Amino acid sequence: MMTVKKINLWSILSKCFLYFWCVFSIFVFLWVINSSLKTNREFFGNIWGIFQTPQFENYGKVWNNYRMGTYFMNSVIVVVPSVLGLLAVSAPAAYILARVDFKLKKTLTRLVSFGLGIPYQLLLVPLFFLLFDLKLINSLTGLVLVYVALSIPFTVFLLISYFASLPKSLEEAAEIDGCGPGRTFFQIMLPLAGNGLVAAGVLNFVGLWNEFLLALTLLSKDSKYTLSMGLYALQGSLQYTGDWVALFAAFTMVVIPTFILFILLSRAIVAGMTMGAVKE
Amino acid sequence: MKRILVLVFAALLAAGSVFAGGQQEEAAAGNSIEYVSMWNAGEPQAIFMEEMAALFEAETGIKVEITFAGRDILTKIRSRLLMQDAPDLVDQDFSELSGALLRDDSVLVEPLNDFLYNEKGPEGQASMMDLFDENLMKLYAKDGNIYFFPYEFITSGFFYDKSLYAEYGLSAPTSWDEFISNNKTLTDAGIPALALDGNISFYNAYYYYWAVARTLGAGNLMAAASDKSGATWDDPGFLKAAEMVYELSAGGENLFQSGYAGSNYPAAQADWAMGKSGAVLCGTWIPSETKSQQDAGFDMGFFPFPEIDGGKGTIADVEAYLIGFAIPEGARNSAGAKEFMKFISKEAYADQLAKDTVNIAARKNSYYPDLLLEVKPYLDSAASFHVSYDGVMQGQPEWFANVFYPLDNDLVFGNITPEEFIAKIKADTIAYWKSK
């Protein structure tokens, strides 16, 4: 017997919107890459046209002359330790809050949730003075510490649900086999929360890689600029020199690492984000 | 896996710590100066400054630590000054420096009179002042003190496509009527006579500010902006200036490119550089800014904002928009900063600045880049100087942004008539001062 599927208008509309959004995003991305390979005259002569001869020197120019290489390395130096440090702090905290019963558990969990609700723009001034007193203004270490501290609530909140979804029987089996709490966490539970850690890591990586306001507030020396700051400076520089195609090359450089990360880890990210969403 | 992660983490943290020196840790020593610059890394002026710093260090042993902070440098510097953490040297255009660091309630920069009048010039001149036009240097003086030291000179006027003009038998106009006639010839031939990116309010503002400078002379726009009673706007010269701007607009002869009100920078100026329109009213940075878009044989000419019959302003009154240094109060190595300023003012370096950056050096008799050669005669024959936007941008910044810009945009776009413009600006100026 044939079953007639009910046509759901809402579903069709949503799909159309998503397809349109995808096509639009891909088009914009390709347009930026295409523009980055043109000369300025080509670009202004026909902004929708395909480049004649690829101008790879645009990339060389922003990497060397406009210090994008330095800004890129600064971003790596700041973001990678920030994400690793963040996971190192947040994973055990989330594990305890998810799996261990103790007196202040609910209060602590709520406190973490409250942290999510504080807009960090409110913290800019006190943070600036605090770091100034600690002589950590214009310091990448200072920025790492701030990034780790401000990202903890989101990461802990995200990881709690992963740890909570793991079966209790695994811990019990580990205990019977003689594992202490530390070993149970590192050797049993942490690997099982791998997808969750990847998702938390990538989401934080992307957020911090593109972070601008804190970097703008806490870094004023251009030798310490991260990529987002560098891009801002570059935008200023290139508009005054009229070298707009180089700006597109810089945009591409900034986007590529997160783009690659998403491509490589997309399965883990999706698995991590949907884990614990339903009870089976 | 865990061990590898721990090792990677430790290595990156160590690397982070190595690369992460705090600003206060790098406090300027006696043999170094900290220079926070308005330029961005990679800009021609930034490259020039880096080169100068290296040469200066080789000659004097004083290291110049440069931070390229970009155009919003003063926002960053002001907070540092208030926290008694002043760098030794900053630079920006003098309007910005004046507005941020030379306020009535607080002067945050060192006076340079002693340096300018008592220090010998780099080539043995009797004083540093001999390198500059003294009237120019005093434009931004406050209570008899000069606080800023220029290295780049900018003025504004019409840059035009000489080949296009020649094709239609036109030459640089010497009067407003000729200017209108030239523009009509081009628009009749289907070529936009004037290029304007309408989304840049301060480009739109050039027209009215210059029109007032020609009808009434310099100082009058500032007087009108500062007049709490609004009565100054009753002077017919202001209405005449509004009529001049309106004549160019979509409400009048429609001499700008199509859709100029919605044109986004740099679309119109790029089109102009590619020979698609006649002229653009802009600062002397435009040859450099559009260099990469110009045709190989692009022939650029310059003429000042035309005079008008019966007007009090003449082309001998030249706009001076200066860029240069200031030494903040509390600078740790003020002497080193002065030495660097003197070093950079050497004739050879002033010429190099002009050549490398396609700009005009502030020092007298310096080299002119080819693209700016046509500006030279007007500067050489200048009888007086006035500051850009008649000083209103730095003197009455709030009025300029909130009262003038919206109405001026409407006038330039032809949305309001000259009479409406005058009536509204008078009413809004009175309301503005009442709210203070």
**Residues B364 and B132: beta-carbon distance below 8 Å:** yes
Residues of B with CB below 8 A from A88's CB? 9
Our CA-based measurement puts residue B82 at a distance from the nearest CA of chain A, in whole angstroms, of 12
Residues B298 and B340 in one domain: no
**CATH number of the domain that A74 lies in?**
1.10.3720.10
Torsion of CA B283, B286, B289, B295, to 10 degrees: 180
A217 occurs within a structural domain = yes
Q: Between the CA of residue B237 and those of B101, B422, B428, what are the distances in Å?
A: 33, 11, 19
* Cβ-based neighbours of A107, under 8 Å, separated by 6 or more: none
Residues B48 and B166 in one domain: no
Residue B27: the pLDDT is 43
**Residues B344 and B351: beta-carbon distance below 8 Å:** no
| Interface contact B67-A222, CB threshold 8 A | yes
List B317's β-bridge partners, or say none. B384
Residues of B with CB below 8 A from A237's CB? 39-43, 46, 70
Residue B6: the pLDDT is 47
Nearest CA in chain A to B3: A186
A43 occurs within a structural domain = no
**Residues A36 and A59: beta-carbon distance below 8 Å:** yes
Distance between CA atoms of residues A111 and A123, nearest Å? 17
Residues A20 and A71 in one domain: no
B2 occurs within a structural domain = no
Distance between CA atoms of residues B92 and B202, nearest Å? 17
* Residues of chain B falling short of pLDDT 70: 1-30
Our CA-based measurement puts residue A229 at a distance from the nearest CA of chain B, in whole angstroms, of 10
Smallest Cβ–Cβ distance between A84 and the set B9, B47, B265 belongs to B9
Residues B99 and B246 in one domain: no
**CATH number of the domain that B90 lies in?**
3.40.190.10
| Interface contact B274-A144, CB threshold 8 A | no
A279 occurs within a structural domain = no
List B158's β-bridge partners, or say none. B281, B303
Our CA-based measurement puts residue B295 at a distance from the nearest CA of chain A, in whole angstroms, of 8
Residues B123 and B52 in one domain: yes
Residues B323 and B312 in one domain: no
Smallest Cβ–Cβ distance between B42 and the set A40, A67, A84 belongs to A67
Residue B207: the pLDDT is 98
Residue B345: the pLDDT is 97
Instruction: Retrieve residue B121's tokens.
Output: 């010039």
Domain containing A27 equals 9-36
3 state DSSP class of A166: coil
Residues B174 and B87 in one domain: no
Per-residue 3-state assignment (H helix, E strand, C coil) for B340-389: HHHHHCCHHHHHHHHHHHCCEECCCCCCCCHHHHHHHHHHHCCCEEEEHH
- Sole residue written with tokens 């340096």: B115
Question: If you average pLDDT over every residue of chain B, what do you get?
Answer: 91
Per-residue 3-state assignment (H helix, E strand, C coil) for chain B: CHHHHHHHHHHHHHHHHHHCCCCHHHCCCCCEEEEEECCCCCCHHHHHHHHHHHHHHHHHCCEEEEEECCCCHHHHHHHHHHCCCCCCEEEEEHHHHHHHHECCCCECECCCHHHHHHCCCCCCCCCHHHHCCHHHHHHHCECCECCCEEEEEECEEEEEEHHHHHHCCCCCCCEHHHHHHHHHHHHHCCCCCEECCCCCHHHHHHHHHHHHHHHCCCCHHHHHHHCCCCHHHHCHHHHHHHHHHHHHCCCCCCCECCCHHHCCCCHHHHHHHCCCCCEEEEECCHHHHCHHHCCCCCCEEEECCCECCCCCCCCCEEEEEEEEEECECCCCCHHHHHHHHHHHCCHHHHHHHHHHHCCEECCCCCCCCHHHHHHHHHHHCCCEEEEHHHHHHHHCHHHHHHHHHHHHHHHHCCCCCHHHHHHHHHHHHHHHHHCC
Residue A97: the pLDDT is 93
pLDDT digits (tens, 9 = 90+) for B4-29: 444 554 555 455 444 444 444 444 44
3 state DSSP class of A59: helix
3 state DSSP class of A85: helix
Domain containing B395 equals 156-316+390-434
Residue B2: the pLDDT is 47
Residue B30: the pLDDT is 63
Nearest CA in chain A to B40: A237
Residues A23 and A116 in one domain: no
A140 occurs within a structural domain = yes
DSSP, res A210? T
| Interface contact A137-B22, CB threshold 8 A | yes
- Is the four-CA dihedral B79, B82, B87, B92 of positive or negative sign? positive
Residues A32 and A68 in one domain: no
B297 occurs within a structural domain = yes
| Interface contact B25-A135, CB threshold 8 A | yes
Residue A6: the pLDDT is 66
Nearest CA in chain A to B288: A241
Residues A149 and A231 in one domain: yes
Smallest Cβ–Cβ distance between B83 and the set A74, A132, A244 belongs to A132
| Interface contact A81-B16, CB threshold 8 A | yes
Smallest Cβ–Cβ distance between A221 and the set B2, B23, B271 belongs to B23
Residues of A with CB below 8 A from B23's CB? 137-139, 220-221
**Residues B152 and B360: beta-carbon distance below 8 Å:** yes
A49 occurs within a structural domain = no
The model carries a pTM of 0.81
CB pairs under 8 A between A and B: 131
Residues of B with CB below 8 A from A234's CB? 40, 42
A51 occurs within a structural domain = no
Query: Which of A39, A43, A44 should one mutate to test binding to chain B, selecting the residue with the greatest count of B CBs within 10 A?
Result: A44
- Count of structural domains, chain A: 2
CB atoms closer than 10 angstroms to residue B369: 18
Distance between CA atoms of residues B157 and B320, nearest Å? 11
Residue A279: the pLDDT is 47
Residues A144 and A220 in one domain: yes
Q: Between the CA of residue B243 and those of A154, B239, B412, B422, what are the distances in Å?
A: 59, 6, 10, 10
Residues A29 and A144 in one domain: no
B267 occurs within a structural domain = yes
Our CA-based measurement puts residue A106 at a distance from the nearest CA of chain B, in whole angstroms, of 30
B5 occurs within a structural domain = no
* Residues of chain A falling short of pLDDT 70: 1-6, 272-280
Query: Which of A77, A87, A229 should one mutate to test binding to chain B, selecting the residue with the greatest count of B CBs within 10 A?
Result: A77
pLDDT digits (tens, 9 = 90+) for B117-169: 999 999 999 999 999 999 999 999 999 999 999 999 999 999 999 999 999 99
Amino acid at A19: Y
Residues B133 and B47 in one domain: yes
Nearest CA in chain B to A234: B40
- Count of structural domains, chain B: 2
Our CA-based measurement puts residue B154 at a distance from the nearest CA of chain A, in whole angstroms, of 14
